[in-house]
Amino acid sequence: MARLAGVAALSLVLVLLGAGVPRPPAAAAAKTQVFLSKLPKALVVGVSPKHGEVVHAGENTVTVTWSLNTSEPAGADAAFKSVKVKLCYAPASRTDRGWRKASDDLHKDKACQFKVTVQPYAAGAGRFDYVVARDIPTASYFVRAYAVDASGTEVAYGQSSPDAAFDVAGITGIHASLKVAAGVFSTFSIAALAFFFVVEKRKKDK
Ligand SMILES: *[C@@H]1O[C@H](CO)[C@@H](O)[C@H](O)[C@H]1NC(C)=O
């Protein structure tokens, strides 16, 4: 009898454990393959720097604007949930650099590697002030915006003209380490000043 109760208890535990195990999702949500050439160019995208203008990484701001092309039919943006903005290497900065290669397949594209922002899509237009990130390398760039639907899939796009690219002056290794060194030394000198001040004061007080 005791043994039977034991078996019953054990199977109850197993059932409870089994219920707690999460089931694998019916189909692991594979990212939809998207080709740029298949997307409607429904967004009109603008950037503040003019062609050839130089902006400094970590310092300057690039203002990006986007709006639905007025020649699009009404409701063309019904599925737009958000706008994803990317910074893209201009063609001149891609030549002979496989790691910046553009691809029609968005998941393989390496030309638009840098995320600028993701904003909810508001009918009409949007705008974002982007302070160029410190890790953006020196190169020519243009900006691309994707309209993204509720499932996170790109459904339309627009971009500033790759032929009217602007330039980013990146923070080079030397530049960055000099800044760090300067920072360390100025902190050190203030600390040293404080230290000797205290030492002198103690001497006087004695
Ligand atoms: C809007 O779309 C039309 C038709 O596709 C195109 O000719 C026009 O250049 C676009 N306007 C802008 C500002 O991109």
Strands 125-131 and 43-47: unpaired
- For the stretch 142-172, pLDDT in tens is 999 999 999 999 999 999 999 999 999 998 7
pLDDT score recorded for residue 124? 76
Inter-CA distances, 59 with 47, 56, 130, 184, Å? 16, 5, 10, 21
Q: How confident is the model at residue 177 (pLDDT cuts 50, 70, 90)?
A: low
pLDDT score recorded for residue 3? 55
Determine the residue type at 196.
F
Give 185 or 12, the one with higher predicted confidence.
185
Distance of CA 78 to the CA centre of its chain: 25
pLDDT score recorded for residue 176? 61
Are residues 25 and 91 in contact, defined by beta-carbon separation less than 8 angstroms? Answer: no
Does 182 score more than 50 pLDDT? yes
CA-CA distance, 74 to 28, in Å (whole number)? Answer: 35
Q: Compute the mean pLDDT over every residue in the chain, rounded to the nearest whole number.
A: 85
Of all protein residues, the one whose alpha carbon is nearest to atom 13 of ligand 1 is 44
pLDDT score recorded for residue 189? 81
CA-CA distance, 59 to 80, in Å (whole number)? Answer: 32
Are residues 126 and 116 in contact, defined by beta-carbon separation less than 8 angstroms? Answer: no
**Stated pTM of the model:** 0.71
Of all protein residues, the one whose alpha carbon is nearest to atom 4 of ligand 1 is 71
> What atom of ligand 1 comes closest to residue 69's alpha carbon?
1
Of all protein residues, the one whose alpha carbon is nearest to atom 6 of ligand 1 is 71
> Of the residues 39, 44, 67, 163, which should be mutated to test ligand 1's pocket, given the most ligand atoms within 8 Å of the CB?
44
Q: Tell the residue number behind the tokens 């900065």, with chain if given.
A: 93
Strands 82-89 and 43-47: unpaired
Per-residue burial over 107-122, b if 16 or more Cβ lie within 10 Å, else e, is eebebbebebeebebe
Ranked by mean pLDDT, the top range of 97-101, 183-187, 196-200 is 97-101
Pocket of ligand 1 (CB under 6 A): 44, 69, 71
Does 10 score more than 60 pLDDT? no
pLDDT score recorded for residue 130? 97
Of all protein residues, the one whose alpha carbon is nearest to atom 1 of ligand 1 is 69
Least confident window among 103-107, 140-144, 189-193? 189-193
Q: Which two tokens stand for residue 82?
A: 């958000």
DSSP 48: S
> Of the residues 69, 143, 157, 163, which should be mutated to test ligand 1's pocket, given the most ligand atoms within 8 Å of the CB?
69
- For the stretch 26-75, pLDDT in tens is 444 567 899 999 999 999 999 999 998 999 999 999 999 999 999 999 89
CA-CA distance, 188 to 48, in Å (whole number)? Answer: 40
pLDDT score recorded for residue 2? 53
In the chain, what are the domains?
36-169 (2.60.40.2550)
Does 105 score more than 80 pLDDT? yes
Are residues 55 and 63 in contact, defined by beta-carbon separation less than 8 angstroms? Answer: no
C-alpha distance across the termini of the chain, in Å: 90
